[in-house]
A = this chain, B = another copy of it.
Amino acid sequence: MPIITSEQRQLINTAYDPHLVREMGQHVAQSLADHLTKVQSATGPVLNWQDPPHFIAAATEQLAKGDVAQQSLDPQDLILRFDQLIQQSLASGQNLHHPHYVGHQVPASVPLAALFDAATTLTNQVMAIYEMGPWATAIERAVVNRLGQAMGFAAGQFGGLITSGGSLANLTALLTARNVALGDSWTHGLAARSPAPVLVAHAEAHYCVTRSAGILGIGTEQVVRVPVDADRRMDPNQLDEILTDLRSRNIPIVAVSAAACATPIGAFDPLPEISDVCRRHDVWLHVDAAHGGAACLSDKHRHLVAGLELADSVVCDAHKMMFMPALCAMVFYRNQEHRFATFAQTAPYLFDPSAPGMAEYDNGMINLECTKRAAAMGLWGVWSMFGQQLFEAMVDTTFGLGQWFYELLKEQPDFQPFCQPECNIVVFRYLPDKLQNSTPAEIDRFQLELRRAVVKSGDFYLVQTILDGRSYLRTTIINPLTTEDHLQTLLDTLRTHGENIL
């Protein structure tokens, strides 16, 4: 008796049919090209807004249709259904490639990266051990080496890895720092340890840094925040005072977490000075350069991250300023031996004791992830085609536009930039005459309402932030197709929606 029915066999064979892969692959390539053409020319809305229950019901309905037994397995019917599902998805998303997308630190990614990615995703190249993804391992090594050297780390001495996202990358580096700083915390845990250790962090560190303290058993209230200076950069003098005080009280210090740049306004910490302080106090320096790390690829902007190579660990997200699709986050260790301080475990079915040299290439030894995507494929492919020059060009245009937009805002009587930007994050408020007699709370509320109106209209996508208790509009110019004209239009759009609200 066969193990499965002939209907089941036919269903499997259809789902794995190479002819359908070719046909549907060509259809999706066409759909994506058409979609990009439309979106990149600023046609249609940026965000296709619908309330969550509406979209969830629509997605659920499609699953239910799939469950109806005796679906047709005719190729033409399947291709039609495939096209419908793809069209529905494209019509329901956030259009980051629209030049009016100036929102979060998530880029309009290089489209070709996704085509490279499709090759490793379809063939399911994964890592944990070298055997399961030899090429995936090789390309990861190649891009980590290349970027680490561009940051200034010494070839042959530094090491690194790629993981799924900046939060996980920061957690991994801080876990390593914890294990190095606290000795037996990996095996014995943090209980019964007194005095309680602390993590010292930039006052405006990304929330994932504080979360890491919560996850790692340090405690979110055990995060000591270093005040920022007038430019919202970590103040090395105050850091020195904090570390002196902690050391004098024998409080264990897991690490100092600096930022290049910090999220709210994109301020870059003075890394050489901070590194000096950390070395004097013998404290691990971690730099969250998720956003700004890629500045090292630009002659014009490299100065912003000078000193990155002095850090013990650095995080850089290729899915931010290297314009890769999510997720491709890198962790760098100045001393490559630290890679093996993150975990200290064996799994006999994974790491072959009969081939000990291979563990050096088994990603699972140093990565929180076991089965792991070939996340470097898009970056490796795009870099191999266009070189560092492409990344430099994208940093230059978006950082340059940030400056240009600031100058534009300064000239407007009804707009007020928060400060001069160092990169492509620009924070400002819209303050028309009609708000002259409004209270600060009313002005804050107006910024939020204005943003929500613009976002729901689909005219632009921008975000908001709170600084010193006040609400601001916040843009990240992270689509290299955005131009001066689009930013000029943004001001007009804000004025129009503002009129409607007031």
Contact = CB atoms under 8 A, between A and B. Distances in A.
Nearest to A392: B8
A448 interface: yes
9 contacts: A49-B134, A52-B141, A67-B389, A93-B133, A93-B135, A106-B132, A121-B325, A191-B194, A210-B345
B132 A371 contact: no
Contact of A21 (B29, B355, B388, B401): B29
Contacts of A326: 124, 126, 371-373
Contact of A63 (B37, B40, B384): B384
Contact of A22 (B33, B110, B113): B33
Interface in A290-327: 317, 319, 325-327
Contact of A192 (B52, B126, B194, B211): B194
Contact of A31 (B119, B190, B355): B119
Contact of A48 (B134, B216, B370): B134
Given A121-B114, A465-B349, A390 B11 contact: yes
Nearest to A62: B384
Contact of A384 (B65, B109, B117, B448): B65
A340 interface: no
A189 B223 CA distance: 10
Given A52-B138, A192-B193, A465-B349, A397 B124 contact: no
A8 B220 contact: no
A8 B397 contact: yes
Interface stretch (A228-236, A375-383, A408-416, A492-500): A375-383
A140 to B, nearest CB: 9
A137 interface: yes
A452 to B, nearest CB: 7
Nearest to A48: B134
A13 to B, nearest CB: 8
Contact of A112 (B20, B125, B463): B20
Given A3-B396, A96-B123, A368-B167, A142 B56 contact: yes
B82 A387 contact: no
Interface stretch (A84-92, A277-285, A430-438): A84-92
A448 B349 CA distance: 11
B109 A114 contact: no
A111 interface: yes
A354 interface: yes
Contact of A36 (B21, B24, B165): B21
B196 A189 contact: yes
A193 to B, nearest CB: 5
Interface residues on A, range: 35 or more
The binding surface of chain A is classed by DSSP as helix
B386 A15 contact: yes
Interface stretch (A180-188, A240-248, A268-276, A330-338): A180-188
A138 B59 contact: yes
A115 B345 contact: no
A187 to B, nearest CB: 5
Given A110-B15, A134-B92, A63 B383 contact: yes
Contacts of A33: 18-19, 21-22, 25
Minimum-distance CB pairs A-B, first 3: A217-B217, A25-B29, A189-B219
A441 to B, nearest CB: 12
A93 B136 contact: yes
B215 A52 contact: no
A267 to B, nearest CB: 14
Nearest to A92: B135
Contacts of A355: 452
B264 A349 contact: yes
B463 A349 contact: yes
A52 B134 contact: yes
Contacts of A119: 28, 31-32, 86, 89-90
A153 interface: no
B190 A371 contact: no
